[in-house]
Amino acid sequence: MYLPDIELHEAATLEKAVVVLASYAPDVRLLAGGTDVLVDLKTGRVGVAHLVSISRIDALRGISETDDGLRIGALTTISQLDRSPLVRKRFSPLLDATGKMAAPQIRNVATVGGNIASAVPSADLPPILTAMNASVTLWSATGRRSVPLETFFVGPRQTVRRDDEVLTEILVPEAPPGFGAAYARFSLRDGNAIAVAAVAAGLLLNSNNTVQDARIVLGAVAPIPRLVISAGARLIGQPPNEDAFRAAADIALKAADPISDLRGSADFRRELVGVLTRRALTTAHQRAKEAQ
């Protein structure tokens, strides 16, 4: 596989990046780590004549604490997120995803923003970030807007980001006492394999140890990361036990809309959703109890 002829533009500022985007849209793509877009170009999945590299924009890097939680710059690599002491101490459910993604060489260059903005259905970060109520910031010359991650995706490789916008950061709110989250996935082999099916869960417990709120998000089994509201609602007011988790898992697997391919049949993936939902909820419950 070879890259087609492409003109590369390097942008040192956000202002420059959006000018180039506007000049060549829609025949242009942003380039960060390149682990998705370059493969798409080589395989012919997408074809554009222009790439805008944003790798020199330092403002898009870094992990920091905010008044409300955690800020992750879009150019932060998966490895940097995985090694962050702040993430490990206070936002550790993210590590369920970062520790399973690709090989170390890929994690060293792949960016958090790219994993989200590419909108690949099997991406690992969107489900757990959605379960943790994360949002993204989209910047353009006319201003910035915040978009909850659960409404960011509209289809496979399609998002609400406009042609003149750049995803600049991901914001994860501070978890309240009694909240726990977890991510469970199945792949055909460790290390390099993408998810065949995945589920993220977030649980908020009341002081009487019943469920106050619950979020169950499916990955790799629908066109977009799917927040199954009915599955979470089934848990509210219930004691978080095996029976409740099984009932929620039954709803979640029925909400899955997987395809059949070389990695597994649609029926196999649905069964995985049931297993992974119970697994994610069990781990999220344990973490929620520890956070009370």
**CATH architecture of structural domain 61-173:** 2-Layer Sandwich (3.30)
Among residues 231, 248, 200, which one has the least CA distance to residue 100?
A: 200
Indicate whether this model's pTM tops 0.75.
yes
pLDDT average per 10 residues of sequence, the chain (292 residues): 86 95 92 88 87 95 97 98 97 95 89 96 97 98 96 97 95 98 89 86 96 98 98 98 98 97 94 98 98 96
Please say whether the beta carbons of 203 and 237 come within 8 A: no
CATH of 7-53 given 3.40.718.10, 3.30.565.10, 1.10.287.130, 3.30.43.10? 3.30.43.10
Q: Which amino acid is at 69?
A: G
**What number of other Cβ atoms are within 10 A of residue 69's Cβ?**
16
**What number of other Cβ atoms are within 10 A of residue 45's Cβ?**
11
Task: Locate CATH 3.30.390.50 in the chain.
Answer: 179-290
State the pLDDT at residue 1. 64
State the pLDDT at residue 190. 59
Task: Locate CATH 3.30.465.10 in the chain.
Answer: 61-173
Q: What is the rounded distance in angstroms from the CA atom of residue 158 to the CA atom of residue 168?
A: 17
Query: What is the CATH class of 179-290?
Result: alpha beta
